[in-house]
């Protein structure tokens, strides 16, 4: 029997723990390459869920490495950014290793004389034919194209890479702190199953809120802005319900106005002193717009029926490793209760025409959309 999105969501903690346990081995090639070439920064080039996985890891990486981490979509990178990377290590990212725009970015870098690195989720991929260095981030098998396990595992790998690189560069990563950071990542992973069960609990209580045809609006900032972006993508591409992600404060500066009482609001709290209070204030205020306002937060001002909670909290930098699980599970549940992955006939025709292919190989994933 073929696996489902939910199967891969439930497999995720084991995959993350394996990546953490083998951090020094799995990240070694990237670390050695960075040190050998004498780079002075990192630029991640990715699209879709891979881009969102990079966003989920970015704040952690910047915190550990004390450097800005650039993230660009491949098309924009090729046409607008490639001449401004200076001495940064450019890492293209594609779980399939067959995303046409990521392959184009690798080619563009080579044409300009740059060393090319690509992070992939499978060894059999076209990126290997182009990149100077191809590194598998060890997600394992994932046959459902609406990837879940791949996003969290990519974020986890990048977090481990940043720890290993900080150690190699002598950036405040002595052995005691190193071991502490590894343990803290595993503590975050331990909360992943709780978020899955919370999604089932609240979906069961308020199913109609999640499957109505109003828009889904996801709000967060910092580390969990990537979580919001990935959740919006997952909900939209699976259930075909309109879903949008916004930086929480920016939502008030215009995007708020098309909102209607039928819309569903999901606010992702970072568990930090800097942004959490404002995030929760915005969530409460949005009750004047819609009765469908939910938070991923342990804040006591929200009742348990509208808050996805965990028994413990982590620092904001690690929280995407488990908070994303809640929203991935909601996307799965919403899809199974609505369209079962099947888009409008016009979208099917668009995909079948294949005028603007996004993958260099066909049949990489299960055909859940009846295309």
* Letter string b/e over residues 313-346, b meaning 16 or more CB atoms within 10 A of that residue's CB: ebebbbbbbbbbbbbbbbbbbbbbebbebebeee
CB 232 within 8 A of CB 334: no
Question: Which H or E run contains 185?
Answer: helix 175-190
CB 118 within 8 A of CB 93: yes
Task: Let me know if domain 192-336 sits in CATH 3.40.50.10490.
Answer: yes
CB 206 within 8 A of CB 302: no
Show the low-confidence residues of the chain (pLDDT under 70).
371
Q: What pLDDT, on the 0 to 100 scale, is given for residue 363?
A: 77
Max CA distance (Å), the chain: 57
Q: What pLDDT, on the 0 to 100 scale, is given for residue 371?
A: 64
CATH number assigned to the domain covering 5-188: 3.40.50.10490
Give Rg (Cα) of the chain.
Answer: 20
Q: What pLDDT, on the 0 to 100 scale, is given for residue 367?
A: 76
Cβ–Cβ contacts within 10 Å for residue 99, how many?
A: 26
Question: Which H or E run contains 295?
Answer: strand 293-296
Domain ranges of the chain: 5-188, 192-336
Distance, in Å, from the CA atom of 170 to the CA atom of 26, rounded to the nearest integer, reads: 19
Distance, in Å, from the CA atom of 319 to the CA atom of 276, rounded to the nearest integer, reads: 13
pTM: 0.96
Distance, in Å, from the CA atom of 371 to the CA atom of 45, rounded to the nearest integer, reads: 29
Distance, in Å, from the CA atom of 125 to the CA atom of 97, rounded to the nearest integer, reads: 5
Asked if the domains 5-188 and 192-336 are classified in one and the same CATH topology, the answer is yes
């Amino acid at each position: 029997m073929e696996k489902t999105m939910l199967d891969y969501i439930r497999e995720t903690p084991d995959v993350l723990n394996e990546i953490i346990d083998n951090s020094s081995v799995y990240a070694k090639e990237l670390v050695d390459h960075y040190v050998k070439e004498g780079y002075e920064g990192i630029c991640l080039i990715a699209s879709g869920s891979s881009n969102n996985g990079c966003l989920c890891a970015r704040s952690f990486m910047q915190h550990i490495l004390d450097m800005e981490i650039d993230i660009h979509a491949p098309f924009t990178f090729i046409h607008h950014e490639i001449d401004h990377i200076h001495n940064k290590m450019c890492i293209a990212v594609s779980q399939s290793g067959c995303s046409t725009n990521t392959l184009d970015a690798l080619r563009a870098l080579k044409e300009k004389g740059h060393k090319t690195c690509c992070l992939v989720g499978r060894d059999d991929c076209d990126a290997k034919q182009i990149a100077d260095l191809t590194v598998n981030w060890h997600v394992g098998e994932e046959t459902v194209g609406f990837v879940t396990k791949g996003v969290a595992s990519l974020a986890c790998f990048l977090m481990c890479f940043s720890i290993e690189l900080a150690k190699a560069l002598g950036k405040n990563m002595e052995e005691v702190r190193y071991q502490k950071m590894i343990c803290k990542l595993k503590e975050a992973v331990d909360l992943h199953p709780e978020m899955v069960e919370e999604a089932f609990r609240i979906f069961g209580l308020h199913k109609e809120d999640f499957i109505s045809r109003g828009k889904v609006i996801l709000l967060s900032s910092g580390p969990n802005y990537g979580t919001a972006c990935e959740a919006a993508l997952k909900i939209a591409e699976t259930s075909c319900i309109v879903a949008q992600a916004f930086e929480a404060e920016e939502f008030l500066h215009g995007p708020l106005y098309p909102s209607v009482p039928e819309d569903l609001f999901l606010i992702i709290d970072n568990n930090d002193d800097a942004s959490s209070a404002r995030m929760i204030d915005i969530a409460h205020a949005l009750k004047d717009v819609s009765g469908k306002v939910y938070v991923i937060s342990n804040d006591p001002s929200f009742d348990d029926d509208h808050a996805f909670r965990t028994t413990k909290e982590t620092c904001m930098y690690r929280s995407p490793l488990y908070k994303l699980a809640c929203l991935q599970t909601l996307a799965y549940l919403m899809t199974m209760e609505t369209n079962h992955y099947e888009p409008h006939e016009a979208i099917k025709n668009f995909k079948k025409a294949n005028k603007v292919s996004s993958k260099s190989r066909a049949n990489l994933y299960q055909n859940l959309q009846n295309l």
